[in-house]
Amino acid sequence: MSAVVNIVLPVFALILLGFICRRTGRMGPTGASELNRFVVWLALPALLFSVVANSTWEQLWQPGFITAFSVGCLGVFGVTLGYRLVQKQPLADASLDALGASYANTGYIGIPLCMLVLGDEALQPAMVASIVVVCVLFAIALACVETGLHAGQGFGRTLRKVSAALVRNPLVVAPMLGGIWAASGLALPVPLATLLKLLGAAAAPCALVSLGLFLAQPLPGGKVTGVWPLVALKLIVQPLITWYLAFQVFELPTLWAYSALLLSALPTGTGPYMLAEFYGREASRVSRVVLYSTLGSLITLSTCLVLLPV
């Protein structure tokens, strides 16, 4: 149990510090946004580029891991989306609910957690999972929202908007550029490698503090229903699906199996909330899913760490 505390406590302590800094006025109302920009545009891309540029295709191409993690998040997304549509909810809002139930916070919590638990080697599965979440899951949700908002305007228009959004996303571009560099066979110049190392080292603490700043923002008022089913899907159903596939079906190597379970058990990231805000949709439910799943993951992640002989 002490090992679990030693691993989980620093991660959530950084989130708490961000929360306290915002609530006590040590950081202003734009702190979360500005720190988030640093993480998204500089720190995390540098880390992702460096990992891919120093990896081989054989190390990254793990079809069993990709399948186990993807089926977990995409399965929960599909079931939630279908259920919300049966309830006659608009496609755009149903897509946001589905994303809230399946969007693992791989970038802000997953990367530092996997590194603490499994060492630097776990950066590879954490990065692969981040690409699945950002490039596949988020793109599907974005396409569904666009389709719901612009029904009748054609598939081509929606596809172009989604593609343009992905091409501009630094968390997508950075690993792609890293892959191109790795394929060239060239070693990273020392000054560039040092720069990437310095930026990458800032990714985890800044991401966690940024999340704390975000969670400290006041929640939208009014009574909100349907939050806890989405939290249960994210923290219980998704990791159970991934655990079964990773351990029972594919029997993945220890590093990749443990990583798959931990990454699937992560709380909901801020992506669904930001998407709801961007499109001007009701964000009260998804904002609560982010908050409650983050708090609940203290229990679920600790349980995973107790059950896994790490």
pLDDT digits (tens, 9 = 90+) for 263-304: 999 999 888 887 887 777 877 888 889 889 998 998 888 888
* Residue 253 amino acid letter: P
Rounded-to-integer distance, Cα 149 and Cα 127, Å? 31
**Angle, helix 63-86 to helix 138-149, in steps of 10 degrees:** 30
Cβ of 132: how many Cβ atoms within 10 Å? Answer: 21
The pLDDT value recorded for residue 151 is 63
For the chain, domains (ranges, CATH) are: 2-307 (1.20.1530.20)
Task: Say which residue, 38 or 152, is predicted with more confidence.
Answer: 38
Rounded-to-integer distance, Cα 253 and Cα 13, Å? 31
The fraction of the chain above a pLDDT of 90, given in percent, is 34
* Residue 85 amino acid letter: L
Note whether 98 and 271 are within 8 A (CB).
no
Q: What is the 3-state secondary structure (H, E, C) of the chain?
A: CHHHHHHHHHHHHHHHHHHHHHHCCCCCCCHHHHHHHHHHHHHHHHHHHHHHHCCCHHHHCCHHHHHHHHHHHHHHHHHHHHHHHHCCCCHHHHHHHHHHHHCECHHHHHHHHHHHHHCHHHHHHHHHHHHHHHHHHHHHHHHHHHHHHCCCCCHHHHHHHHHHHHHCCHHHHHHHHHHHHHHHCCCCCHHHHHHHHHHHHHHHHHHHHHHHHHHCCCCCCCCCCCHHHHHHHHHHHHHHHHHHHHHHHCCCCHHHHHHHHHHHCCCECCHHHHHHHHCCCCCHHHHHHHHHHHHHHHHHHHHHHHHCCC
Give the pair of three-digit tokens for residue 14.
Answer: 């950084």
Cβ of 152: how many Cβ atoms within 10 Å? Answer: 5
The pLDDT value recorded for residue 153 is 61
Rounded-to-integer distance, Cα 138 and Cα 150, Å? 18
In the block, tokens 């909901």 appear at: 268
Note whether 96 and 148 are within 8 A (CB).
no
CA atoms within 13 A on the CB side of 24: 8
Distances (CA, A) of 200 to 44, 204, 292: 6, 8, 28
The pLDDT value recorded for residue 296 is 92
In the block, tokens 């569904």 appear at: 144
pLDDT digits (tens, 9 = 90+) for 240-274: 999 999 999 999 999 999 999 999 999 998 888 87
Is the alpha carbon torsion for 109, 110, 112, 116 positive or negative?
positive
The pLDDT value recorded for residue 194 is 95
Give me the count of residues in the chain: 310
The pLDDT value recorded for residue 154 is 65
Average pLDDT taken over every residue of the chain: 86
Cβ of 195: how many Cβ atoms within 10 Å? Answer: 14
Rounded-to-integer distance, Cα 33 and Cα 216, Å? 12
pLDDT digits (tens, 9 = 90+) for 188-243: 999 999 999 999 888 878 878 888 888 887 776 667 788 999 999 999 999 999 99
